[in-house]
Amino acid sequence: MTPKIASFLDASPATPCLVVDLDRVDANYEALRAALPAAKIYYAVKANPAPQILTLLAAKGACFDAASLPEIEACLKAGAPASAISFGNTVKKATAIAAAYKYGVPLYAFDSIEELEKIAHRAPGAKVYCRIAVANEGADWPLTKKFGTTVERARELMLAAPGLGLVPHGLSFHVGSQQTATPAYELAIAKVAMLFTDLKASGLELKMLNLGGGLPVNYREDVPGLEIFGDAIMDTLIAHFGNDLPEILIEPGRAVVGNAGVVASEVVLVCRRMAADERRWVYLDIGRFGGLAETEGEAIRYRITAGNGATGPVALAGPSCDGVDIMYEKTPYQLPLDLQAGDRVLIHDTGAYVTTYASRNFNGFAPLEEHYL
């Protein structure tokens, strides 16, 4: 937790709330630039689309990966030029493509002929890039099934693009979010590099490689640092492309904002479900529907702290009347033995994928309050 966040929390704001230190966002962006100087950074807006964050990044000259028309409009409003935006969702409404094209958004992702035809119709002459499905092994929040196509199919689609009046610009992949293993990037780069070579032999020289998101945050378990990922990625790029690197894009979301935020929450109830239970159940005023959606399957395991003193095992659940509103039942969490209703609990590194996952008034609970310092 940063000193700024700590002093804000000293004033006991109403909970639940997310408190984000914008200096940390700034520092993370700089650290990413230093770790991968060859890459252009396209911030994945969905990780946290707060205007304060978009404005800060736009002023620093960042580019943006947007998934929808409202996200594109949020970037424009924050001062980003349309030329700095990539429409990176492979599933887009035709009306959204047309509107983005009118704004001047130059880059569009696809992974099917149907989407490519939609782009050709609504954004004639646009630059397109094809998303390749790659292994997501090592990712705590995988994205494999829903997106991407095979190398063979991508080859056909890229070769078909000029005939549809589009510019076949590059390739992309996503190694899965909270990717903790550098080989995921190495294998993915090797896979797409072969397609670069293959297409070049067919007379099509691609200009861009988009490495997607995935860079991890240190939650409960330690992960390799950004420099380690940066070095592994750079070494692999050089091994495959030599000094003829295409334009490299990277789309970090979690790594830009994750460790910049803390959720402050209040204990609503501490009890034992059965008299003989050693483990207590701790119910917080935030849960799966209040923004902690990534606790599904206990995939993202946040660091959670409360007070001092001797601790014992707990399960953690949210305040709603839904049976799936349980954050952690299997992961061995420990909280103070004297924890009681009304106490403050902090959920650390919650700057990414929390505010926008909060439901609207489920069980009457308001969406999560946000503070940007």
- Residue ranges binding ligand PLP (CB under 6 A): 44, 46-47, 65, 88, 174, 177, 212-215, 251-255
Q: Is 130 a catalytic residue?
A: no
Nearer to ligand PLP, 250 or 284 (CB): 250
Least distance to ligand PLP, CB of residue 223, Å: 12
Least distance to ligand PLP, CB of residue 212, Å: 5
How big is the chain, counted in residues?
Answer: 373
DSSP state of 149: B
76: left (phi over 0), alpha (psi -120 to 50) or beta: alpha
Least distance to ligand PLP, CB of residue 250, Å: 9
DSSP state of 154: H
Nearer to ligand PLP, 65 or 115 (CB): 65
Nearer to ligand PLP, 75 or 255 (CB): 255
Least distance to ligand PLP, CB of residue 107, Å: 12
Least distance to ligand PLP, CB of residue 252, Å: 5
Nearer to ligand PLP, 109 or 306 (CB): 109
Least distance to ligand PLP, CB of residue 205, Å: 24
Helix (H) or strand (E) holding 227: helix 226-241
Q: Which long-range contacts (CB under 8 A, 24 or more apart) does 117-125 make?
A: 117/164, 118/92, 118/94, 119/92, 119/166, 120/164, 120/165, 120/166, 121/94, 122/94, 122/97, 122/98, 123/97, 123/98, 123/166, 124/165, 124/166, 125/165, 125/166, 125/167
Q: Measure the CA–CA gap between 269 and 281, rounded to whole angstroms.
A: 8
- Per the omega criterion (within 30 degrees of 0), is the bond before 16 cis? yes
Nearer to ligand PLP, 132 or 315 (CB): 132
Residue 259 and residue 28 in contact, taking contact as beta carbons nearer than 8 Å: yes
> If you write DSSP's letter for every residue of 319-339 in order, what string do you get?
SSS-TT-EEEEEEEEEEETT-
Active-site pick, 17, 63, 75, 321: 321
Give the residue at shortest CB distance from ligand PLP.
213
At position 47, the amino acid (one-letter code) is A
Q: Say which residue the tokens 């230190």 belong to.
A: 21
Which CA distances in Å does 220 have to 54, 299, 300?
28, 11, 9
Nearer to ligand PLP, 188 or 317 (CB): 188
Which CA distances in Å does 134 have to 39, 131, 221, 339?
20, 9, 24, 45
- Catalogue the active-site residues: 321
